[in-house]
Amino acid sequence: MDSEIESILDALSVAVFIVDADQTITYRNSASVSLFGTGLRNKKLSHFVPNKRCIRAVDDVLDGADRQSVDVRLQLVVPTSFRMTAVSLQKNATRDGASAVVSFEDVSHILEAEQMRTDFVANVSHELRSPLTALYGFIETLQGPARSDQQASDRFLQLMEREAARMARLIDDLLSLSKLQSEERYAPTEKVTINPILERIVASLEPILMKEQATVATDFGADLPDVFGNVDELTQVFANLIENAAKYSRPDAVIRVASRIDDKEPEMVRITVTDQGDGIAPKHIARLTERFYRIDKGRSRDKGGTGLGLAIVKHILMRHRGRLQIDSEQGTGSTFSVVLPCAR
Ligand SMILES: Nc1ncnc2c1ncn2[C@@H]1O[C@H](COP(=O)(O)OP(=O)(O)O)[C@@H](O)[C@H]1O
Ligand SMILES: [Mg+2]
C-alpha cells in the first residue's frame, strides 16, 4: 500500500482492516492494534468477530453488494460496542479477486450517553411524579372524607406543603445542574477567600444543625491562599456536604470542618468535612455523585433530600478545576474533601 495512504489510515481512531476474498486480513491500521491487540494479520476476520451478521455482511460486499453496516458488541478486554462498515475495494471484480475494507468504530460512549439520558428522563419523571401523586391523594381526601374535619384538613395541608416544597427543590436542583453543565467549560476567574465562606455557611446552617442535634467544630488554616471561584457555587458545595454530614451520620454528631493547604499538592487548598457516622460501603462511594443515587432513599426523602446534591457538587468542582474525594471507614465515619487550585 502507498505509504501516504498508510499514514492517513494510521491517523484514524477507527480500526481499519483490509480482507481478501476469504476474509483473511491482509492489512490493518494502528488503531486496530490498540483496539484488538496484535497478531491478527493473516488471520480470518471471524477469528475475532464471532458474529454471523458481520461475517455475512462482509461476504455480501465481497460478492459485489454496496456498503454494509452492522452494529456489534464484542467481548474485548471490556465489552465494547462497534459500528462495523464494509466496503468493496474493487468495482465489478469477481469473487476470487475481491477484497474489502472493514472498519470498526467504537460507539460505546454514544450508546452509554444515550442510555444515561434515557435513565435520567425516567428518573426525573419518577421523582416528580411521586410528590404529585401524594398531592392528588391529599386533594381527594380533602374533597371527600376530610371535607368537614378541620383538624385533618390542617394536617393534610401541612403535608401538601411539604410535598410541594419537595417538587420545588427538585426543580431548582435540576435547573442548577443543567446550568452548571452548560457552563462547565468556563472556569471562574474571581478570587475568593474560603474561610469566611465556611464561617457564614456554618452560621446559616444553625437551624438544621439544631434539628439534627449536630454541632460543628472548625479548624480553619491561617493564611490560606485564595482560590478562583464563584461564591454562590462554593457555598452550595460546602452547605450540601455539611448538611449531608448532619443528616446522614448520626444524632449528636460532631462535624469537623477544616481547611488547609494540601499536604501532597501545595498548589491546592483542601477543605474537609468529617463526620463520625456509620461510614459508607465502598460500593456506594463510587456512585454517590450519580444523579438520584441515594443509599437509603426513605431516609433521604424524610430529610428533604433530592438525591442531586452530590451530583451538583461534582459539577461545580469540575467547573472550578477541582475535585471531590470521599474517604470512609465503616464504623468510624466519612470525610468528604474538596480540593481546589490556589489563585496565586
Ligand atoms: N456524610 C454522609 N454519610 C453517609 N451517607 C452520606 C453522607 N453524605 C451523603 N451520603 C449519602 O449520599 C446520598 C446522596 O447525597 P446527596 O447527593 O447530597 O443527596 P440527598 O442529600 O438529597 O439525598 C445521600 O442520600 C446519602 O445516602
Ligand atoms: Mg444532600
Q: Give the span between the Cα atoms of 24 and 13, in whole angstroms.
A: 22
Same domain, 229 and 328: yes
327 Cα to the center of ligand 1, angstroms: 13
Same domain, 119 and 78: no
pLDDT of residue 314: 97
202 Cα to the center of ligand 1, angstroms: 18
Instruction: Give the closest residue (by CA) to ligand 1 atom 5.
Output: 248
Q: At what angle do helices 150-183 and 309-319 cross, to 10 degrees?
A: 20
Q: What is the DSSP string of 234-285?
A: HHHHHHHHHHHHHHHS-TT-EEEEEEEE-SS-TTEEEEEEE--SS---HHHH
Q: Are 279 and 332 in contact (CB under 8 A)?
A: yes
Contacts of 249 (CB under 8 A, 6+ apart): 214, 255, 275, 276, 277, 278, 333, 334
Same domain, 172 and 64: no
Same domain, 197 and 306: yes
Q: Three cell numbers at 317?
A: 468542582
Which neighbouring-strand residues pair with 83?
Answer: 71, 105
Same domain, 191 and 297: yes
Which atom of ligand 1 sits closest to the CA of residue 241?
A: 8
Q: Give the span between the Cα atoms of 206 and 305, in whole angstroms.
A: 18
217 Cα to the center of ligand 2, angstroms: 20
In the chain, the N- to C-terminal Cα span, in Å, equals 54
In the three-class reduction of DSSP (H, G, I as helix; E, B as strand; rest coil), residue 104 is classed as strand
Same domain, 72 and 171: no
pLDDT of residue 1: 78
pLDDT of residue 94: 80
What CATH number is attached to the domain comprising 164?
Answer: 1.10.287.130
Which among 72, 106, 140 is the end of a domain? 106
Q: Are 106 and 133 in contact (CB under 8 A)?
A: no
Q: Give the span between the Cα atoms of 277 and 243, in whole angstroms.
A: 13
Angle at 303 between CA 301 and CA 306, to 5 degrees: 50
Q: Give the span between the Cα atoms of 201 and 211, in whole angstroms.
A: 16
In the three-class reduction of DSSP (H, G, I as helix; E, B as strand; rest coil), residue 321 is classed as coil
* Tally of CB atoms within 10 A around 256: 17
118 Cα to the center of ligand 2, angstroms: 24
pLDDT of residue 271: 98
Q: Are 29 and 36 in contact (CB under 8 A)?
A: no
Q: Three cell numbers at 27?
A: 492489512
Same domain, 179 and 190: no
Domain that holds residue 57: 3-106
Same domain, 35 and 159: no
Q: Give the span between the Cα atoms of 320 and 230, in whole angstroms.
A: 8
Same domain, 100 and 154: no
Q: pLDDT tens-digit profile of 214-226? A: 999 999 999 999 9
Same domain, 92 and 133: no
Pick from 137, 139, 121, 132: which is nearest to 167 by CA? Answer: 132
Which atom of ligand 1 sits closest to the CA of residue 336?
A: 1
Output the ligand 1 site: residues, CB below 6 A. 240, 244-245, 248-249, 275, 277, 280, 288, 294-296, 300, 305-310, 334
Contacts of 82 (CB under 8 A, 6+ apart): 71, 72, 73, 74, 104, 105, 106, 107
Which among 153, 183, 213 is the end of a domain? 183
Q: Three cell numbers at 142?
A: 380533602
Which among 138, 160, 183 is the end of a domain? 183
Q: pTM here?
A: 0.80
292 Cα to the center of ligand 1, angstroms: 10
What CATH number is attached to the domain comprising 304?
Answer: 3.30.565.10
Burial of 273 (0-12, 13-18, 19+ CB in 10 A): buried
Exposure class string for 229-250: b at 16+ Cβ within 10 A, else e = bbeebbbbbbbbbbbbbbbbbe
Q: Give the span between the Cα atoms of 56 and 92, in whole angstroms.
A: 19
pLDDT of residue 2: 86
**Which residues does the chain have with pLDDT short of 70?**
none
Stated length of the chain: 344
State the total domains in the chain. Answer: 3
What CATH number is attached to the domain comprising 18?
Answer: 3.30.450.20
Same domain, 65 and 123: no
Instruction: Give the closest residue (by CA) to ligand 1 atom 25.
Output: 294
Q: Name the residue of 294, 301, 338 whose CB sits within 8 Å of the most ligand 1 atoms, as the mutation to test its pocket.
A: 294
Pick from 196, 260, 270: which is nearest to 231 by CA? Answer: 196
Same domain, 191 and 340: yes
